Amino acid sequence: MDKKLQIDLQRVPKHVAIIMDGNGRWAKGKGMERIFGHKNALTAVRESIEGATKIGVSAITLYAFSTENWNRPKVEIDALMNLLISSLKKELPTFQENGVKVNAIGSIENLPKKAQVTLRNVILDTEKNDVITLTLALSYGSREEIVNAMKTISKKVVNKELDLENIDENTINNHLYTFNLPHVDLMIRTSGEQRISNFLLWQMAYAELYFTDILWPDFREEHFYDAIIEYQNRERRFGKTSEQLTE
């Protein structure tokens, strides 16, 4: 049976976040260098976006490169940046055809200039697309994001642009990189690791977490649907009891 037919399209998560883990182990298992795994992960990216689009997910965020990833060997970092550039250029026609709006969060200024320019151009070229928003988390760390938000809010208080007593959750949310995105409903992590690794800590406060042993290069549209089905089989209580939800 087509797994997509098992999905209740009225209860699809608005925002799905994915930690794309396992590229290096996948490559190592085939006796290849780590970058071989990254290159072969593009199909998983494409199929996840297509799967999300088909069922009506409005936002998908991919953890593409963390702040900690800068500590990896330079040869791998250079290869990843080149892969980012080539992939964005290659996928642009597909983004346009499928109504994918590209977005990016993180310390983008730390990326190589060529990567920044390519990313900026793709973002501008797709800004009017409205089927799904694809956010790439690049040079991203959630703690850094929250610290930066606190600094900005503090400056506004000092400059009397913001009253201390008026600071609430919305204030913080509006100063995060993701201010224009809904909170995360579902987080998927591949490769069997069960951590959130400094990814969207504020935004995932009430997200359902889904972990799978599948390595990211092997992840396909049907596996994305497995996560959605699992999500829909869970009871999201947001602090309430099951009885309260029923009422």
Q: Which residues are annotated as a binding site for substrate?
A: 22-26, 34, 38, 66-68, 70, 72, 189, 195-197
Bridge-based pairing state of the strands 100-105 and 15-19 = unpaired
Q: What is the DSSP letter of 161?
A: S
Instruction: Tell me if residue 185 is catalytic.
Output: no
Give the Cα separation of 102 and 114 in Å (integer): 17
Q: Which of 140, 159, 174 is nearest to 19 (CA)?
A: 140
Sole residue written with tokens 């800590």: 201
Active-site option among 69, 98, 129, 198? 69
Element (H, E) at 211: strand 208-211
Binding site per annotation, positions for Mg(2+): 21, 208
Binding site per annotation, positions: 21-26, 34, 38, 66-68, 70, 72, 189, 195-197, 208
Bridge-based pairing state of the strands 132-140 and 59-66 = parallel
Answer whether 131's CB lies under 8 Å from 53's CB.
yes
Active-site option among 2, 8, 21, 213? 21
Cα–Cα distances in Å, from 198 out to 129, 195, 205?
29, 9, 13
**Beta-carbon count within 10 A of 190 CB:** 26
Instruction: Tell me if residue 180 is catalytic.
Output: no
Cα–Cα distances in Å, from 175 out to 15, 133, 168?
19, 19, 11
By annotation, the residues acting in catalysis are 21, 69
